[in-house]
Amino acid sequence: MARFPRMLRVGEAAKLLHVHPNTLRKWNAVGLIHSYRIGRRGDRRFLVADLFKFLAGDHATANGIPRS
């Protein structure tokens, strides 16, 4: 089994979720998925465990738009 890093950058997380990075940023802005801000620039990082929980929930759809 592959070992995943504990946290992913926006692009890496978006790839895992099969969405555009801007979609992930929007979901984060409206509170659908949590991110952590790190460093001086405040770069977003996503916990791998949170991403898998998101995928397992009712938010994931075939077209990439979460259900409300």
Which CATH number fits the domain that encloses residue 43? 1.10.1660.10
Q: Is residue 26 a part of any domain in this protein?
A: yes
Distance in angstroms (rounded) separating the CA atoms of residues 25 and 13: 10
The tokens for 7 are: 């946290």
pTM here is: 0.76
Q: Within 10 Å of residue 21's Cβ, how many Cβ atoms?
A: 16
Range of the domain at 39: 7-56
Q: Is residue 2 a part of any domain in this protein?
A: no
Overall number of domains in the chain = 1
Task: Give the ranges where the chain is alpha helix by DSSP (H).
Answer: 10-17, 21-29, 48-56
Q: Write out pLDDT tens, residues 2-50.
A: 675 689 999 999 999 999 999 999 999 999 999 999 999 999 999 999 9
Nearest to 47 by CA among 57, 32, 33: 33
Q: Is residue 15 a part of any domain in this protein?
A: yes
Q: Is residue 16 a part of any domain in this protein?
A: yes
